[in-house]
Each structure stands twice: as structure tokens, then as C-alpha cells.
Structure 1
Amino acid sequence: MSRASGPAKPAGTFDRDAEWRALAAFAARTAPRAMLGVVSGRRRMGKTHLLRALANAASGFYFGATEATAAETLRQFGAALAEHVASPVPFTFATWDDAITYLFTLGTSGDQPVLAVIDEFPYLVRVVPELPSLIQREIDKYQSQANRLRLLLCGSAMAMMGGLLAGNAPLRGRAGLELVVRPFTYQDAARFWAVDHDPRLAVRLHAVVGGTPAYRTQFLDDDTPADLDDFGPWVCRTVLSPLTPLFREARYLLAEEAEIRDPALYHSVLAAVAEGNTTRGGIAGYIGRKSVDIAHPLTVLEDCHLLVREDDVFRTGRTLYRIAEPLVTFYEAVARPAWARLEAGEAEAVWQRSAERFAAQVVGPHFETICREYLLRAGPEVFGDRPVGEVGVGVVTDPARREQIQVDAVVLAPGSGGRRRRVVALGEVKWGTVIGARHIERLARARDVLVGRGFDAEDCLLLGFSAAGFDPGLRDGTGGGSAVRLIGLGELYGQRPTAARS
């Protein structure tokens, strides 16, 4: 048998069930050949916690690299290996070639899998560029010779980790596991921060810190807002306070990516997106560059998982960008413009003057992202028996009225070859506005225009998302031939949506 369930997840670890199952199963595979796994994810996601726990449970070898020269890291690696095999003296390897060769010999004896973890792998690659090639040689060598080493490489530099298995990289095609440890979903984050009882607070909190677990445990020592009234004071004493590590975290997220050579340019790109400039042309205009000049920064920010590119589902070739890390959006929209005042300890004054900006540039756009995430996971309670494929955004051009209709949430059926694309749902999202009949009528107009363009949208759902509520009369209104569903904060955090009469 080549697969097993592996050790149980350590007590006290919140969520991460799927990640732990994947790691434990990889470590327990018994096939007589060397295997490679790659684990990545932004910092503060808990990767090291999982890997240390796995190494302890499996009696495996764990090495956490540091920023050091090739010679120093080689000495550290030799000392760690010697300690693992209970050698009375540290190993002295002449080269990294010797060290990797020895590492793989750990899997040549016995009939049980042997786990080895190299954490912060990008630190090593920066000073030992040939390391992936050395690992590739050993992996290939032990495909035909008995070896049960299970090697996990882990790192937080997303661009570098993403390139390990891409293109013509030495390790391409060698990995039996490629795991990205992602932030908690908005619902899991609410439970983790113990604010799931108040969706109004949960959305605001998630718009600031997202789903990064370390921000609560390591950065803030479990300081969470007590209630909605405490949210503003909490922001002032944490993310806007120069006395907490969270204050400069957004800057560090950018600085620790090796591919970023000009931080000022990249911060300007992120600031442009935070201001609502979501197209390439809009971003270029905001920072005073030509569109062609920002192609590389946009690509790097995507590779670093700081920007997400979303294609307009109705307009081929139109690309929209949004910031992937909520803390970066908050920093660019609220903290960075008032940085000097914040460093001077004026958090309360800055926060009071940022209320409108926070609502318009931080919470509002983030609420749209949450609603689309909800639709990705929604089931028959929303869609009935309609098949769900892609969830995105789109702009519908209405030539008759000479206007463009922005659709905040679009759900499409899975691709159907030569048949016309089926639109499952069109959604309007409002953070601070009560949704009324005019919003549903606007969606109905978009639906009619799409039908005229050849889309299969006649019976698509019309969805209204609002944190401020709904016009009471809307529940008795019509959707112009389509079913209408109204989804509020309660539904987003676990309750069932309301079906309006069509």
C-alpha cells in the first residue's frame, strides 16, 4: 500500500484540516522511491507551525534556514543533521552537493518513510542557486533505487516558490505534492477572531486583517475588538499604532519579496488599485507612467500574491486588478497617506478623518470580494439545480441607453463548447446602501442586454447583497421574469438566503 493517513493533527491547531491531511498523507506514503513536496504561502499563515508539528509527529528531520552566507548555512545544516541522527559531533560537509547527497541517504534504510523538511528554502536558493538542481539529481536517481525519503521544501517568497516547478525549472515534474497554505476564509476568520456572532464587526475586521492567523496570536497577543463599538478603538491601538508590529507589516510584506527592486514604484501601483483604479490604464495614469511600463510590476505583484487579476467575464481582453491582502489595502488607503501623523501618535485623529475613505475604499470593495467568495461555495440553497462554474465581475454595455452596467457578481455555468454561454446569476453588492427595486431593475436590464447579445440568460437569478438591508417592498416585487434572492450579512455568515417572489 503506497498511501496512509499519517499522524493526527496536533491539538490546538485551528482549522487547516485539509492542509494537514495532505501533509500527513504525503509523509506516510510507503512507495520505495524518493518523493518531493513543495509547500508555499504568504508569511504568517502557519506553515512553519504545521511542518514542525508534522516533523515531530513523524520523527522527521526539520531544518529552518536563515538569511546567511552559503558557508554558514552549510554549517547550520550539517549541525542540524548531526543532531537528528544523534551524532556526537556536527557534520562538516565540504559542499552543498555533499550535504544533499547525505540527506537522501536517510531514506535508503528500512521500509518506513523518512520525512525531511527544509523550511525557508528561498533563503538557501539565494546563496546556493544550484540547490534545486542538486535535489533534482537525487530525486531522479532514487526513482529506480529504493529510497523512502519524503522531502518537503517550504517558503514564503511566493514568486520564487512558484517558479520552482514552472517552465524549465530543474524540479518541474518532480513534485508529488504542491500545497499552498492560504488565508482563512472570511467565515473561518470570523470564528478564529471570535467575532462570528456579529457579522457587521466580522466584515470590518476581515477588511483590515483578512484571514492571516498570526496577526491575532503573534502580533496582537489575542487583542480582539470586544464589539462593534470597540472596533475603532481597536484599530487605533493595533494596526494604526506604531507600538505594534502590525503597524509596519504591510511594508514588510512588500520588502521581503526578492523580485521587488523598486519598492516606491510597487507601493504606487498598490495605492492606485486601493484608490479604485483597477484597470491597467487607470493604474498607469494614476502613477504617471505608460501602460507598457507597468506590465512587469503588475506581473511581479501577481506572482507575489499581492495582486489578483480578474478578467471581465463579458468583455474579452479587459482585465481588472484587486489587492489580494486586505492589510495592504488598508495600509495604502488609510495608513500610508497619514504615515507621519501616525508615527507621531495621532491614530485617533487619523481614524476619525478616515471614516469615509475606509468605507469607500476598504470595506466596500472587500465586501464585494466576500460576496463573490460566498457564491463560490454556495449550493442548492441559492442556485437550486443550476450548474455553477465561474464567479467573477463584468461590465455590460447597453448601446440603446448608452451606458455601462457594472455587475458586481456574475455566476456562469461551466463551459459548454460551441453552445452559447449560460449566465446563472447576476448580482448587485452594496455595503452602505439599502437595496431597492431600482437595483434589481438594473440587473434585469443587464440580463436583457446579455440575452440580446446571445447569452443564455433568460432565467438567470438576480441577486441582491447588502449589509444595510433591503427595501421592504422589494420582497413583494418582481424580477422581470427571473427569480430574485436577497442575501444579507446573516446569510453570508451561515443563515439561508431569502427568496423574493418573481
Structure 2
Amino acid sequence: MQQRAKPGKPSRVFDRGDEWNALTAFVDRPLPHAMLGILSGRRRMGKTYLLRALVEQYGGFYFGATAGTEAESLRQFSAALAEYASSPVAFSFATWDDAISYLFGLASPRKGDTPGGADPKAPLLVVIDEFPYLAKVAPELPSLIQRETDRFQVEGSRMRLLLCGSAMSVMGGLLASTAPLRGRAQIELVVRPFGYRAAADFWDVGGDPALAARLHAVVGGTPAYRRQFLADDVPGSLADFDDWLCRTVLSPFSPLFREARYLLAEEADIRDTALYHSVLAAVAQGNTTRGGIAGYIGRKSVDISHPLNVLEDSHLLAREEDVFRAGKSQYRITEPLINFYEAVMRPSWARLESGQAQEVWAQSAERFAAQVAGPHFETVCREYVLGPGRSLLSTSLGTVGGGVVTDPKERRQIQIDVAVVEPGSGGSAQSVALLGEVKWGTVMGVGHLERLRRARELLAVRGMDTGHCGLACFSAAGFSEALRVEARQGGVLLVGLDELYGRAVPEGVLT
């Protein structure tokens, strides 16, 4: 196959430039044999929107599966395939074996067998969306696709098959261990939520970092929540945020009101939703270790291994290693709306259902700051260091995370919210490039800086290289004048909301 010019991303597809480039590179790769791709992502991320745009550009075949019996699903697939192939009569495949064989046959390089008079040398893009629905009723499908993919590694083929799904555990399992498709995929792409800066632009609130930060702490970077769910109902200003929240997320008449519950119920491997909600509630309440979660829900640590694993596989929970203490880790809810639901909505569910949104929200300020906005702000600050803030560091390597530094003299633990740690190599010790503290509602002062300096001293005593370790203070509430003086003298970086959202340059210098 000849290399062809890649189609440009349609203007209606917001962001997603990296995903679009990866997908077009997959389709246009000039190889004369079948290729397979796996695309996944939680619901509401815009996967279908992206794939439909891709299919339109390439004139390919798109099939969106629905929940149904095997016979009905096969009949729907047959009808869609017949329409794509411009068949004068409907197809009636007896088995999925026949259907998949015919599908791959459409990608034969022989001239004259392409639907609609398409270029017989052009790649044939085929997208099967919500593939887990089909795999559930026809578990032989992955094996059938494996057989045809392997066959057309020898015989010529223009097939570019993309399997897409929202059930993260199912999609992840397609390429795992002894699964039939393991080793067959040329691309494995996860469509993730928009980053915090892209989300601010998508919601048209990028000009108000304080509003953008609060909005992102509630709805995150899920594109469907603005357009499909809220019909472009966007808070007009920071002063409008409370009213907006009460008329949308906290209103029993809004589609977002029960969305957090639906996100959990839609995961294929989740049966006892009450147990999973309890696990998520434990994390939202600040019980972020395995032992803390088990104690909160009244179970033994060993008894919660399965729900923790399922929530991780579903990308609803993330386990983050302590960068300073091997074997120690904490859990974090990855979906902001679920965290908001567990921390603010679920404890007052009956009152919210009865229309008391204003009263509930008025009494939730402290809980929102401590359990929602504060932890989420820490995540945003780490994302900043991973992305635009990386240029401020002297290194482009290292793990970005958090951890605890124990101070035996003072008998206390110093929580480091943002840290960049580089692994040692060739006999050299681990090095620390950055130590940072994050505060949502607190004006940071010299005391916070001194705590970071003490942590740096303790890490040096432990044998870690801190010779080029910079210190950073992140605050959504601002900094004291004394701390600003320290920043002007060098040795500490001050990062507020304006800096996080690219509206200002961080104050201070890392030394």
C-alpha cells in the first residue's frame, strides 16, 4: 500500500489531537496485511464521537453494538454490513464465524470487491463500537478475530479493525495473559478525560482560574457533561457557581444527579454496588490506605482485595505509591464526579431528592474544601508538574507523586504533596528534584517552606541526593508577603491558580 496523506482532524472534534494522530497513523500504516487496534475509555469521554469522525474521513464501516441477545446482535450486524456493502438483499449470516469471515473478505486487495467503488488499494477502516456487548453474548468473537487476523498476516489485506468499548475491565482483558488477541494489536489507546487546562477551555471558563478549578473538581474533564447532559448550561462566573451547582449536579431533575451511580453500575464486573460505594465513600472520607478502607467499611483488609482490583481495572480508583516509602501506597478516586457524589451528595441523598439543594450545599462548604477540592487540587498540581511545569525543573526524568517523610526527632510525619524523584543508576543514589506542598484554602507562609526544607534535610540524611532539589508551594488561596520575599531571594517557587492555568509565570526560582 502507498503512503497517503493523513486526513485532518475535523474542527468539531475538540482537543484529541494526539489521539487523532495515533489513529490516523494506525490506519495509514503502509503494511499489506491486517492490523488490529484496541480503543477504550470510560463512558462519556467522546470515543464514539471521535471514531465516527474518523470513519467519515476514511469512508469506513462503523457498527455500534447494543445490549441484546446473540441472535439479535448478529442480525443487527448483518444488516449494517449489508448496507455498507450496498447489497441489494439483506445478509443473513448463520453464525458469527460467517459474519467475521465475510467482514475480513471485504478487505481483500483484489480489484473490484470494495464497497461503493472505493479505492481497492486504500485501507479499509472497520470500527466495532461497544465490543463488550458482543463479546458477552458471543464469547467466541475474540478467537474468530484472532484467526482472521493471523490468516491475513500471510495473505494480503487492507483491514484496519478497531475494537472499542467502555467496559474497561473487559477491554483490558482482550490483550491480557492467555487471551486470544494477546500480541495481535498494533495500537492500544485509552481515551482519557480532558486535562484541567483543556477542560477549562472546553467549558469556556479558562479566563477565570478560580471558577475553572472548582468546576473541574466537580465534573472533571468529561466532555459529555457539558453538551449532552447539560445542553451547554455553563456557570457564567465564579459568583454563579453555587447556583449552577444547585440547578445541575445537585438537582434531582438533572441528568448529572444520578450519573455517579450509573457510572458504577455500568461496569461489567461490579455486582454488589453497595460494597463498591462503601469502598469509594471510605476513600472520599480520607481513608486512603487499604487498612483505612477496610476499617471504615467494617471488613478485613484481605476481604476488600477484589473490589479494590475491580475499581482499579475500571479506572475509577488509582493506587499511588509513596515515592519515599517502599511498599506504602494510597488510593485515589479518579473520577471527580464520583468523589463529589460520595463526599457531598450521598450523605444527604434524601434531602437532595426532596429538592433541598440550596440548603445541602450551604452546609457543605467545609466538606467540599477538605474532601473534594483539596485532594483534587493536589492532583492538578501534579499534572502541572508532569506537563507545563516540567520546564521549570532541571531534569525531564523522574517519578511525579507524593509521599511521607518521617521526622524522628520531632516525632511527626511531613506530607509531601508533590515530589519528583529520580531513580539511581550505576551505583548512584536516588535523587530528589522537587518537593512541594499544596494548599487549597490556606494562604501559605514561611512555615510551609520551613517544613519542606526540613523534609529535604531528612531525605539527605537517608542517603538521597538532594543537591539539586527545588522547593515549591502551590496554593489556590495565595501566599504571604514574607513567603513572596523568600521567593524573590531564590530557593522556592510559588504556583497559584493563575500560574497553573498559564495566565502568569510562577514567582521565584528553583535552586
Q: What is the distance in 2 between the residues matched to 1:8 and 1:14?
A: 13
TM-score by length of 1: 0.97
Q: 174, 188, 209: which one pairs with 2:184? A: 174
Name 1:402's counterpart in structure 2: 411
Q: 103, 106, 123: which one pairs with 1:113? A: 123
Secondary structure of the structure 2 residue equivalent to 1:31:
coil
Q: 461, 476, 482: which one pairs with 1:473? A: 482
Name 1:348's counterpart in structure 2: 358
Q: Bigger shift: 2-11 or 226-235?
A: 2-11
Is residue 2:474 matched to residue 1:451?
no
Q: How does 1:340-419 map to 2 (within 5 A)?
A: 340-379=350-389, 381-383=391-393, 385-413=394-422, 415-419=424-428
Letter in 1 for 2:56: N
Question: Does the C-alpha gap of structure 1 residues 9 and 415 become closer, same or farther in structure 2, counting only changes over 3 Å?
Answer: farther
Secondary structure of the structure 2 residue equivalent to 1:428:
strand
Letter in 1 for 2:459: L
Kept in 2, the 8 Å contact 1:270–1:332? The answer is: yes
Name 1:122's counterpart in structure 2: 132
Q: 470, 475, 489: which one pairs with 2:497? A: 489
Kept in 1, the 8 Å contact 2:429–2:464? The answer is: yes
- What is the deviation of 1:242? 1.1
- Residue identity (%): 66
Q: How does 1:425-440 map to 2 (within 5 A)?
A: 425-440=434-449
- What is the deviation of 1:379? 4.9
Is residue 2:329 matched to residue 1:319?
yes
Q: What is the distance in 1 between the residues matched to 2:487 and 2:73?
A: 68
Q: Give structure 2 stretches of 5+ with no counterpart.
A: 111-119
CA RMSD of superposed structures (Å): 1.5
Secondary structure of the structure 2 residue equivalent to 1:364:
helix
Name 2:292's counterpart in structure 1: 282
Kept in 2, the 8 Å contact 1:483–1:499? The answer is: yes
Q: What is the distance in 2 between the residues matched to 1:178 and 1:78?
A: 27
Q: What is the distance in 1 between the residues matched to 2:31 and 2:307?
A: 43
Q: What is the distance in 1 between the residues matched to 2:171 and 2:153?
A: 23
Name 2:41's counterpart in structure 1: 41
Secondary structure of the structure 2 residue equivalent to 1:406:
strand
Letter in 2 for 1:458: G
Kept in 2, the 8 Å contact 1:210–1:327? The answer is: yes
Q: How does 1:203-282 map to 2 (within 5 A)?
A: 203-282=213-292
Letter in 2 for 1:464: C
Deviations 1:281-316 (A, max 9, x none): 000000000000001110100000000110001111
Deviations 1:46-100 (A, max 9, x none): 1101111111111111100000000000000000000001012210001001100
Secondary structure of the structure 2 residue equivalent to 1:246:
coil
Name 2:166's counterpart in structure 1: 156
Kept in 2, the 8 Å contact 1:55–1:61? The answer is: yes
Name 1:461's counterpart in structure 2: 470
Name 1:53's counterpart in structure 2: 53
Letter in 2 for 1:272: A
In the TM superposition, structure 1's runs of 4+ consecutive aligned residues that sit over 3 Å from their partners are: 1-5, 378-381
Secondary structure of the structure 2 residue equivalent to 1:247:
coil
Name 1:498's counterpart in structure 2: 507
Deviations 1:27-52 (A, max 9, x none): 22231100001110011111101111
Kept in 1, the 8 Å contact 2:471–2:510? The answer is: no
Letter in 2 for 1:61: F
- What is the deviation of 1:477? 2.9
Deviations 1:101-147 (A, max 9, x none): 11100110332211111000000011011110100000000000011
Q: Give structure 1 stretches of 5+ with no counterpart.
A: none
Q: How many residues align?
A: 500
